[in-house]
A = this chain, B = another copy of it.
Amino acid sequence: MSSAVTILMKPVEGFGVSKVVDSDNPNFKPGDLVSGFTGWEEYSLIRKTEQLRKIQPDDHIPLSYHIGLLGMPGFTAYAGFHEVCSPKSGEYVFVSAASGAVGQLVGQLAKLHGCYVVGSAGSSQKVDLLKNKLGFDEAFNYNDETDLVAALKRCFPQGIDIYFDNVGGEMLDAALLNMRDHGRIAVCGMVSLHSYHDPQGIHNLFTLVTKRITMKGFLQSDYLHLYPRFLDYVISNYKQGKIVYVEDMNEGLENAPAAFVGLFSGKNVGKQVVRVACE
Protein backbone atom coordinates (compact mmCIF):
# COMPACT_ATOMS: atom_id res chain seq x y z
CA MET A 1 0.00 0.00 0.00
CA SER A 2 1.30 3.46 -0.80
CA SER A 3 0.52 7.13 -1.23
CA ALA A 4 -1.96 7.27 -4.08
CA VAL A 5 -1.96 10.91 -5.11
CA THR A 6 0.16 13.83 -4.03
CA ILE A 7 -0.23 17.47 -4.93
CA LEU A 8 2.84 19.58 -4.82
CA MET A 9 2.78 22.66 -2.68
CA LYS A 10 6.05 22.61 -0.77
CA PRO A 11 9.40 21.16 -1.76
CA VAL A 12 9.04 18.40 0.78
CA GLU A 13 5.45 18.37 1.99
CA GLY A 14 2.22 18.58 0.07
CA PHE A 15 -1.41 17.62 0.24
CA GLY A 16 -2.01 14.05 -0.67
CA VAL A 17 -4.45 11.16 -0.57
CA SER A 18 -3.01 8.00 0.94
CA LYS A 19 -3.99 4.56 2.16
CA VAL A 20 -2.95 3.59 5.69
CA VAL A 21 -0.47 0.68 5.65
CA ASP A 22 0.08 0.45 9.39
CA SER A 23 -0.95 2.53 12.40
CA ASP A 24 -0.59 2.62 16.18
CA ASN A 25 -3.28 5.32 16.39
CA PRO A 26 -6.69 3.80 17.21
CA ASN A 27 -8.42 6.34 14.94
CA PHE A 28 -6.69 4.99 11.82
CA LYS A 29 -6.72 1.37 10.70
CA PRO A 30 -4.80 -0.29 7.86
CA GLY A 31 -6.83 0.17 4.69
CA ASP A 32 -8.32 3.53 5.73
CA LEU A 33 -8.10 6.26 3.10
CA VAL A 34 -6.94 9.67 4.34
CA SER A 35 -6.17 13.11 2.91
CA GLY A 36 -3.85 15.70 4.40
CA PHE A 37 -0.20 16.67 4.58
CA THR A 38 2.08 13.92 3.32
CA GLY A 39 5.55 13.82 1.79
CA TRP A 40 6.80 13.72 -1.78
CA GLU A 41 7.50 10.03 -1.43
CA GLU A 42 5.93 6.62 -1.95
CA TYR A 43 5.61 5.76 1.74
CA SER A 44 5.18 8.37 4.46
CA LEU A 45 5.48 8.23 8.24
CA ILE A 46 2.85 10.69 9.46
CA ARG A 47 3.03 11.76 13.09
CA LYS A 48 0.71 14.79 12.96
CA THR A 49 -2.42 12.71 12.56
CA GLU A 50 -4.63 15.59 13.68
CA GLN A 51 -4.05 17.05 10.20
CA LEU A 52 -5.42 13.95 8.48
CA ARG A 53 -9.03 13.68 7.36
CA LYS A 54 -10.60 10.25 6.72
CA ILE A 55 -12.12 9.77 3.29
CA GLN A 56 -15.29 7.82 2.61
CA PRO A 57 -14.66 6.01 -0.70
CA ASP A 58 -17.27 6.82 -3.33
CA ASP A 59 -17.21 5.11 -6.73
CA HIS A 60 -18.48 8.28 -8.38
CA ILE A 61 -15.75 10.57 -7.05
CA PRO A 62 -12.10 10.19 -8.10
CA LEU A 63 -9.79 9.89 -5.10
CA SER A 64 -7.67 12.78 -6.36
CA TYR A 65 -10.65 15.13 -5.95
CA HIS A 66 -10.07 15.00 -2.20
CA ILE A 67 -7.05 17.26 -2.67
CA GLY A 68 -8.75 19.41 -5.31
CA LEU A 69 -12.47 19.87 -5.72
CA LEU A 70 -13.24 18.50 -2.24
CA GLY A 71 -9.96 19.56 -0.61
CA MET A 72 -8.20 22.77 0.23
CA PRO A 73 -8.53 24.48 -3.19
CA GLY A 74 -12.23 23.65 -3.47
CA PHE A 75 -12.94 24.76 0.05
CA THR A 76 -10.94 27.96 -0.54
CA ALA A 77 -13.24 28.71 -3.48
CA TYR A 78 -16.36 27.96 -1.42
CA ALA A 79 -15.38 29.92 1.70
CA GLY A 80 -13.96 32.79 -0.35
CA PHE A 81 -16.95 33.15 -2.61
CA HIS A 82 -19.78 32.55 -0.16
CA GLU A 83 -18.29 33.99 3.05
CA VAL A 84 -15.97 36.75 1.84
CA CYS A 85 -17.68 38.04 -1.33
CA SER A 86 -21.26 38.32 0.04
CA PRO A 87 -22.65 37.43 -3.40
CA LYS A 88 -26.13 38.26 -4.61
CA SER A 89 -27.90 36.67 -7.54
CA GLY A 90 -27.48 38.76 -10.70
CA GLU A 91 -24.17 40.32 -9.67
CA TYR A 92 -21.17 40.61 -11.99
CA VAL A 93 -18.23 38.42 -10.94
CA PHE A 94 -14.66 38.44 -12.23
CA VAL A 95 -12.21 35.60 -11.46
CA SER A 96 -8.50 35.70 -12.30
CA ALA A 97 -6.44 32.51 -12.76
CA ALA A 98 -9.90 31.22 -13.52
CA SER A 99 -9.00 27.77 -14.79
CA GLY A 100 -6.81 27.02 -11.78
CA ALA A 101 -7.52 24.73 -8.85
CA VAL A 102 -9.49 27.43 -7.01
CA GLY A 103 -10.71 29.69 -9.81
CA GLN A 104 -12.55 27.02 -11.80
CA LEU A 105 -14.80 26.27 -8.81
CA VAL A 106 -15.30 29.95 -7.91
CA GLY A 107 -16.75 30.53 -11.37
CA GLN A 108 -19.06 27.52 -11.16
CA LEU A 109 -20.24 28.46 -7.64
CA ALA A 110 -20.97 31.97 -8.92
CA LYS A 111 -22.99 30.59 -11.85
CA LEU A 112 -24.95 28.32 -9.46
CA HIS A 113 -25.63 31.45 -7.38
CA GLY A 114 -27.12 33.25 -10.39
CA CYS A 115 -24.21 35.58 -11.15
CA TYR A 116 -22.69 36.66 -14.47
CA VAL A 117 -19.11 35.35 -14.52
CA VAL A 118 -16.02 36.26 -16.52
CA GLY A 119 -12.63 34.60 -16.08
CA SER A 120 -9.11 35.47 -17.16
CA ALA A 121 -6.41 32.92 -17.97
CA GLY A 122 -3.07 32.75 -19.75
CA SER A 123 -3.76 30.72 -22.90
CA SER A 124 -6.43 30.21 -25.56
CA GLN A 125 -6.73 26.57 -24.43
CA LYS A 126 -7.67 27.73 -20.94
CA VAL A 127 -10.08 30.35 -22.27
CA ASP A 128 -11.76 27.65 -24.32
CA LEU A 129 -12.04 25.46 -21.20
CA LEU A 130 -13.62 28.31 -19.23
CA LYS A 131 -16.24 29.06 -21.86
CA ASN A 132 -17.03 25.58 -23.13
CA LYS A 133 -16.53 23.25 -20.19
CA LEU A 134 -16.63 25.27 -16.97
CA GLY A 135 -19.67 27.38 -17.86
CA PHE A 136 -18.18 30.86 -17.59
CA ASP A 137 -20.22 33.48 -19.46
CA GLU A 138 -17.09 35.03 -20.93
CA ALA A 139 -13.31 34.65 -20.67
CA PHE A 140 -10.18 36.31 -22.00
CA ASN A 141 -6.49 35.50 -22.40
CA TYR A 142 -4.56 38.24 -20.61
CA ASN A 143 -1.54 37.56 -22.83
CA ASP A 144 -3.60 38.72 -25.82
CA GLU A 145 -4.54 42.04 -24.18
CA THR A 146 -2.43 45.18 -24.37
CA ASP A 147 -4.68 47.05 -21.93
CA LEU A 148 -6.20 45.10 -19.04
CA VAL A 149 -8.37 48.04 -17.98
CA ALA A 150 -9.92 48.09 -21.44
CA ALA A 151 -10.30 44.29 -21.50
CA LEU A 152 -12.28 44.35 -18.27
CA LYS A 153 -14.32 47.33 -19.48
CA ARG A 154 -15.20 45.32 -22.60
CA CYS A 155 -16.26 42.27 -20.54
CA PHE A 156 -18.02 44.33 -17.87
CA PRO A 157 -19.49 47.48 -19.48
CA GLN A 158 -21.63 47.86 -16.34
CA GLY A 159 -18.70 47.19 -13.96
CA ILE A 160 -17.68 44.42 -11.55
CA ASP A 161 -19.48 43.69 -8.28
CA ILE A 162 -17.13 40.95 -7.09
CA TYR A 163 -13.51 40.31 -7.98
CA PHE A 164 -12.06 37.01 -6.77
CA ASP A 165 -8.37 37.86 -6.95
CA ASN A 166 -5.95 34.97 -7.41
CA VAL A 167 -3.09 36.98 -8.92
CA GLY A 168 -2.74 40.55 -7.60
CA GLY A 169 -0.45 42.91 -9.52
CA GLU A 170 -1.52 44.59 -12.73
CA MET A 171 -4.80 42.68 -12.95
CA LEU A 172 -5.83 43.91 -9.50
CA ASP A 173 -5.01 47.49 -10.48
CA ALA A 174 -7.13 47.10 -13.63
CA ALA A 175 -10.01 45.54 -11.69
CA LEU A 176 -9.97 48.39 -9.15
CA LEU A 177 -10.74 50.84 -11.97
CA ASN A 178 -13.65 48.67 -13.14
CA MET A 179 -15.37 47.99 -9.81
CA ARG A 180 -18.93 49.12 -9.12
CA ASP A 181 -19.99 51.02 -6.02
CA HIS A 182 -19.94 48.79 -2.92
CA GLY A 183 -17.91 46.16 -4.80
CA ARG A 184 -16.04 43.42 -2.98
CA ILE A 185 -12.60 42.01 -3.65
CA ALA A 186 -11.66 38.67 -2.09
CA VAL A 187 -7.88 38.39 -1.99
CA CYS A 188 -6.86 34.74 -2.21
CA GLY A 189 -3.48 33.39 -1.13
CA MET A 190 -0.32 31.82 -2.45
CA VAL A 191 0.03 32.54 -6.16
CA SER A 192 -0.94 36.17 -5.68
CA LEU A 193 1.89 36.70 -3.21
CA HIS A 194 4.37 36.71 -6.05
CA SER A 195 2.48 39.41 -7.86
CA TYR A 196 2.02 41.56 -4.80
CA HIS A 197 5.78 41.74 -4.48
CA ASP A 198 5.79 43.29 -7.93
CA PRO A 199 8.06 46.34 -7.64
CA GLN A 200 5.48 48.33 -9.61
CA GLY A 201 3.07 48.31 -6.69
CA ILE A 202 -0.69 48.92 -6.72
CA HIS A 203 -1.73 52.42 -7.75
CA ASN A 204 -5.51 52.50 -7.85
CA LEU A 205 -6.49 52.00 -4.23
CA PHE A 206 -8.12 55.45 -4.23
CA THR A 207 -11.12 53.73 -5.79
CA LEU A 208 -11.67 51.95 -2.46
CA VAL A 209 -12.95 55.29 -1.14
CA THR A 210 -14.83 56.68 -4.12
CA LYS A 211 -16.58 53.35 -4.76
CA ARG A 212 -16.75 52.18 -1.12
CA ILE A 213 -15.03 48.91 -1.95
CA THR A 214 -14.26 46.21 0.58
CA MET A 215 -11.05 44.27 0.00
CA LYS A 216 -10.57 41.26 2.22
CA GLY A 217 -7.79 38.73 2.46
CA PHE A 218 -8.71 35.31 3.76
CA LEU A 219 -7.47 31.81 4.51
CA GLN A 220 -9.75 28.80 4.20
CA SER A 221 -8.55 27.53 7.57
CA ASP A 222 -10.63 30.23 9.32
CA TYR A 223 -13.85 28.70 7.96
CA LEU A 224 -13.42 25.00 8.72
CA HIS A 225 -16.74 24.88 10.61
CA LEU A 226 -18.35 25.18 7.16
CA TYR A 227 -16.49 22.19 5.71
CA PRO A 228 -19.33 19.66 6.14
CA ARG A 229 -21.81 22.04 4.48
CA PHE A 230 -19.31 22.59 1.64
CA LEU A 231 -18.90 18.84 1.08
CA ASP A 232 -22.67 18.29 0.96
CA TYR A 233 -23.17 21.14 -1.48
CA VAL A 234 -20.33 20.36 -3.87
CA ILE A 235 -20.79 16.58 -3.90
CA SER A 236 -24.52 16.97 -4.52
CA ASN A 237 -23.97 19.37 -7.40
CA TYR A 238 -21.13 17.27 -8.80
CA LYS A 239 -23.32 14.16 -8.87
CA GLN A 240 -26.07 16.11 -10.64
CA GLY A 241 -23.53 17.17 -13.28
CA LYS A 242 -23.78 20.82 -12.26
CA ILE A 243 -20.15 21.04 -11.20
CA VAL A 244 -17.17 19.66 -13.12
CA TYR A 245 -13.50 19.71 -12.18
CA VAL A 246 -10.43 19.81 -14.41
CA GLU A 247 -7.19 18.19 -13.28
CA ASP A 248 -3.74 18.17 -14.82
CA MET A 249 -2.53 14.70 -13.86
CA ASN A 250 1.16 13.84 -14.02
CA GLU A 251 2.32 10.27 -13.54
CA GLY A 252 5.18 9.29 -11.25
CA LEU A 253 7.06 10.91 -8.41
CA GLU A 254 9.95 11.61 -10.79
CA ASN A 255 7.77 14.16 -12.59
CA ALA A 256 6.81 16.04 -9.44
CA PRO A 257 9.58 18.70 -9.55
CA ALA A 258 8.76 19.65 -13.16
CA ALA A 259 5.04 19.78 -12.35
CA PHE A 260 5.75 22.04 -9.38
CA VAL A 261 7.90 24.44 -11.39
CA GLY A 262 5.27 24.49 -14.14
CA LEU A 263 2.77 26.07 -11.73
CA PHE A 264 4.72 29.34 -11.82
CA SER A 265 4.67 29.63 -15.60
CA GLY A 266 1.02 28.59 -15.92
CA LYS A 267 1.95 25.33 -17.65
CA ASN A 268 -0.74 23.36 -15.80
CA VAL A 269 -4.32 23.32 -17.02
CA GLY A 270 -6.61 22.90 -14.03
CA LYS A 271 -5.61 21.46 -10.69
CA GLN A 272 -2.05 20.10 -10.80
CA VAL A 273 -1.90 16.55 -9.44
CA VAL A 274 0.88 13.98 -9.40
CA ARG A 275 -0.06 10.31 -9.20
CA VAL A 276 2.64 8.65 -7.13
CA ALA A 277 1.03 5.23 -7.02
CA CYS A 278 -2.27 3.63 -7.96
CA GLU A 279 -3.79 0.31 -7.03
Contacts and interface: CB of A to CB of B under 8 A. Distances in A.
Interface of A: 168, 172, 187-189, 192-193, 196-219, 222
Residue among A172, A197, A208 facing the most chain B CB atoms (10 A cut-off): A208
Contacts of A213: 216-217
A215 B219 contact: no
A212 B222 contact: yes
CB-CB nearest 6 A-B residue pairs: A201-B201, A208-B217, A196-B206, A209-B217, A215-B215, A189-B209
A206 B222 contact: no
A195 to B, nearest CB: 9
Contacts of A168: 205-206
A203 to B, nearest CB: 5
A215 B216 CA distance: 6
A150 to B, nearest CB: 20
Contacts of A216: 208, 212-215
A198 B206 CA distance: 10
A196 B211 CA distance: 14
Contacts of A205: 168, 172, 187, 196, 202
Contacts of A214: 214-217
Contacts of A215: 208, 214-216
B217 A211 contact: yes
